[in-house]
Amino acid sequence: MNRLTNDHIECIIKDLNYRGIVADGIQEELIDHICSGVETEMNQGKKFIDAYHHILKSFGNTAGLQETQQEIIKSENTKSRNMLKNYFTIAMRNLRKHSFYTFINVAGLSVGLAICFIILLFVINETSYDKHFENGNRIYRTKSEIKFGGNHYNMLYAPPILASALVAEYPEVEAAIRFRERGSYLVKRNVDNIKEDNVIWTDKDFFKVFSIPVIAGNAETALAEPNTIAISEKIAEKYFPGENALGQTLILDNKMNMKITAIYKTLPQNTHFHFDILISMEGLDEAKRLVWYSNNFQTYLLLRSGADVKQLESKFTELVVKHAMPQMAELLGGDFTMEKFIAAGNKMEYTLQPLSDIHLKSSLQGEFEPNFDIAYVYLFVAIALFILIIACINFMNLSTARSANRAKEVGIRKVMGSFRSHLMRQFLTESILLTFISILLAVLFAYLLLPLFNQLSLRTLSIPFQQPMLYGIIILAALTVGLLAGIYPSFFLSAFKPVSVLKGHVALGMKSGLIRSALVVFQFTVSIFLVIGTLAVNRQLNYIQNKKLGFNKDQVIVIEDAYALGSNRLPFKDEIMRSGKMENATMTGFLPVSGSWRSDNPWWVEGRDPAVQENMVSIQNWRVDYDYIKTMGMKIKEGRDFSREFPSDSTAVLINEASIKRFNFTGDIIGSKIATFGDSGNGEPDRNKLITLTVIGIVEDFHFESLKENVSPLMMELNEKSEGPISFRFQSQNTQEVIQLTEAKWKELAPGQPFTYYFLDDRFGSMYAAETRLGNIFGIFSVLAVLIACLGLFALTAFTAEQRMKEIGIRKVLGASISSIVMLLSKELGKLVLIAFVLAAPLAWYGIDWWLKDYNYKTEIGVGLYLMAGLVAFLIALATMSFQSFKAASSDPVKSLRSE
């Protein structure tokens, strides 16, 4: 039997290759088949060439061969599993081959997705507040707007009688409860006190309005008796570990014995209050007063289903006229009428706020906890979207940019019989695969970043790994983002015409630069906007921290809950002063940081008619001691400070500059007298008892609330018996020593009572905690946005440089310098960054203006800041680009020009 020689076989292989039989696994098989056929015919006496042509003819010559090949490929690919596997393999191969671009794509996408993921968790959390109450859609609370005596209040505090009046007058109101905050309490079971912050007085219908699961006790009767409390599970476990707390007693502030009548499930984090101890309002005398002019109670209503809220609200004016106005007339005397009251620009209005609006849309006086602002939710969502878009743009930019390099691949594939749909699927598989990898990494990043974010945002977010929804979302997100990012490149790339591509007309890469330029501009607009925003927020915070406040917030320690010392208050203060470590000490709760005691009363210049509303000045009435001004470091502008040498100072008063304008004194201010009604003994003013104080000094205005507020009128009178905290001004730089000194003395004089303190400057800083947090979060986001945008720019420059390799080579040969080539490469992208700056600056200006409108004292945001942000963005972009440009420019032209 004849066998084919190697030459024959070689000849057949070459010829088949020439005829386009090249597919893996098919080529060999057909060769073997043809060889076998030729051998058989040669054995029958034919010559090699005749036999070969005969066999070829039986295949149908070139066309038949190719058709066979295509049929085989098709038959193999009918199973979608194989097809996918093929796409997958090729995708992996491509990603590995271009690992630099893959890295940039994955890095950018995963960081972007991680941020989106965190923000998504955050937004879900923020919008989930108070949704767990069964009757949530029927719960409302009252808002009070009161404008009187030069003051304008928008607050939650309502008169004690409002709740019962609403239930009595309007059938729509099913139940109404009040809350009364009395600050923190010292709580003990036997001996040792623990300070509890989340304590509130409330009415017995609390559990009727708020469907909080009661674990032990009867929810309906729990708070019906005085001296009873309901406690959360958390508190029950804290004070009665392993015991049944129901029916037991807790002692509040060393004097109130409270019986536990109910234990309820600890409130979830996404509730607008987190009370741990509810004290029955039955035991609070203040709550029984029938007055309309004192506002101290937050009032919540449960409406009947189907109640018309708008209609109910409209009836409140009538309520004010019927009940509140007669009382006002009596109090103020004279010819008080509602008409005059309103004509003088005054207001007394009650409106309703739905429960669902509280967390995101409310920021009034009397909130239990600071709420969030819906504007920031939108801002966060916008940032998340922008970052995601920036990351997707990187992807699109790189894919289309690289298209030139892949054009040949597309051409060959098309020649080989790929349909356009195959190619699109191939590219989409690649992008989905990439997204999927990125998403897994993103979840990992998010997991690592969440603790930091929680710290910044004061939340306790976690990734819900146990929820199957999460995995669904991940897969869905991979598909969506993959499609989004991949659809444009896949359309773009698969549309190439094989003939022109294979001939070398592949300039498509840079020609389609318009869209790419727009995308780069967009990326940098967002980045620059965020950078300007961050700089502005930080500048304002800096300004606040360093603004002259009118007092000295540094080097002051405040010992809280001094009332726990009982009669040892003064000895405690005196003995610590005797140690010589402290400069001054003062005992009062009226401190110049928000959250301290405040008291507001109407006063007038003695001799004027209090019934004339213009004469009344609503003024902060602080009771302080002799050393207050010295300890806090305020300045006396005129007159003198309180002094022990003047016994008459018990009827003296210091006023601040802001109050002078309002009192409108005639003649000398020092020595003038101001007056108000005295107390009748039950907390109500007594019109027959006048209190008169003599002005002995004027204090320079100092900021005692957030700088969002103006300095309001303020007076200080003497009171040496304050139960408030004790503040010490210390000299030592060693704060540890100061703490130890005071704590040792405390333990000696108040055994068993918790020692708590703070530094005045820390508390001052916490007034701006929200702003600081915002600044930090903003800062992180903008850094990341810039980073992702730069990644894209980096890769894009690398690509451009690669594309223009030959051009650069020729330029160098003709004598171009490295710097001129770097310039050439960076110029175009630099222009785009410049355009981005021009777009971002006005947007940022608008945003900053919006944010700063809340502040009465704001820093100047000059042109300098914008230019600086622009310059920073430009420099970062330049640095990113020049690395690649320089690499390209300094390469040896011989290398780039030799081939071809």
Partner 1 sequence: MYKSMMHSPELLKGTLQTILLKVLKDHGRMYGYEITLRVKELSGERILLTEGALYPTLHKLEAEGMLKTEVITIGKRVRKYYSLTSDGRSLVKARVNELIAFIKTMGNVLQVELN
The residues that touch partner 1, with contacts defined as CB under 8 A, are 6, 9-10, 13, 26, 28-33, 35-37, 40, 58-60, 64, 67-68, 71-72, 74-76, 78-79, 82
Closer to partner 1 by CB, 6 or 736: give it: 6
Catalogue the E-assigned strands of 328-384: 347-354
Nearer to partner 1, 79 or 265 (CB): 79
Nearer to partner 1 by Cβ, of 56 and 506: the residue is: 56
| Bridge pairing between strands 249-252 and 194-196 | unpaired
Helices 27-43 and 48-59: crossing angle in degrees, nearest 10, is 130
Q: b vs e for 145-179, b when ≥16 Cβ sit within 10 Å of the residue's Cβ?
A: ebbbbbbebebbbbbbbbbebbbeebebbbbbbbb
Comparison of 34 and 481: residue with beta carbon closer to partner 1 = 34
Minimum CB separation of residue 29 from partner 1 in Å reads 5
Give the shortest CB-425-to-partner 1 separation in angstroms.
18
How far is it, in rounded angstroms, from Cα 633 to Cα 761? 13
List the structure tokens of 382. 């916008």
Smallest gap from Cβ 78 to partner 1, in A, equals 7
Q: Who's near 427: CB < 8 A, 6+ residues apart?
A: 399, 486, 489, 490, 493, 494
Please identify, using beta-carbon distances, which residue of 29 and 574 lies nearer to partner 1.
29
At residue 504's C-alpha, the angle toward residues 498 and 506, to 5°, is 80
The nearest distance, CB 15 to partner 1, in angstroms, is 14
Query: Which of 445, 524, 428 is CA-nearest to residue 121?
Result: 445
67 or 600: CB nearest partner 1: 67
Report the nearest approach of partner 1 to the CB of residue 428 (Å): 23
Whether the Cβ atoms of residue 701 and residue 347 lie closer than 8 Å to each other: no
Q: Which two tokens stand for residue 841?
A: 């600056």
Q: How far is the CB of 39 from partner 1 (least distance, A)?
A: 9
> Residue 60 Cβ, how far from partner 1 at the closest point, in Å?
7
Q: Where are the beta strands (DSSP E) in 265-366?
A: 277-280, 297-303, 347-354
Distance between CA 59 and CA 573 in Å, rounded?
110
Q: Which is nearer to partner 1, 34 or 121 (CB)?
A: 34
CA distances from 721 to 286, 498, 586, 693, 730 (A): 22, 94, 11, 19, 23
Which is closer to partner 1, CB of 70 or CB of 596?
Answer: 70
CA dihedral 830, 832, 834, 837 (to 10 degrees): -140
The Cα–Cα gap between 530 and 527 comes to 5
- Classify 462 as helix, strand or coil: coil
Task: Give the closest residue to 802 by CA, choosing from 684, 887, 878, 677.
Answer: 887
One-letter amino acid for residue 852 of the chain? L
Question: What does DSSP say about strands 214-217 and 199-202: parallel, antiparallel, or unpaired?
Answer: unpaired
Residue 68 or 512 with smaller CB distance to partner 1: 68
- Which position has the token pair 């939340």? 459
Mapped to the 3 state alphabet, what secondary structure does 833-868 carry?
HHHHHHHHHHHHHHHHHHHHCCCCCCCCCCHHHHHH
Smallest distance from the beta carbon of 94 to partner 1, in angstroms?
Answer: 24
Q: Residue 74 or residue 322: which is nearer to partner 1 going by CB?
A: 74
Task: Concatenate the DSSP letters of all residues of 294-307 into one string.
Answer: ---EEEEEEEPTT-
Minimum separation from the CB atom of position 72 to partner 1 (A): 5
The residue (of 5 and 365) whose beta carbon lies closer to partner 1 is: 5
Q: Which is nearer to partner 1, 8 or 553 (CB)?
A: 8
**Which two structure tokens, joined as six digits, stand for 138?**
């029927």
Please, which residue, 55 or 526, has the CB nearer to partner 1? 55
- Indicate the residue type of 894: V
**Judging by DSSP bridges, how do beta strands 157-158 and 652-656 pair with one another?**
unpaired
Pure H helices in 240-308:
none
Strand, coil or helix: what is 154? strand
CB of 45 to partner 1, least distance (A): 17
Please say which residue, 66 or 596, places its beta carbon nearer to partner 1.
Answer: 66
Least CB distance to partner 1 at residue 88 (A): 16
Per-residue tokens: 539: 């500048």
Give kind and range of the element (H or E) at residue 676: strand 673-679
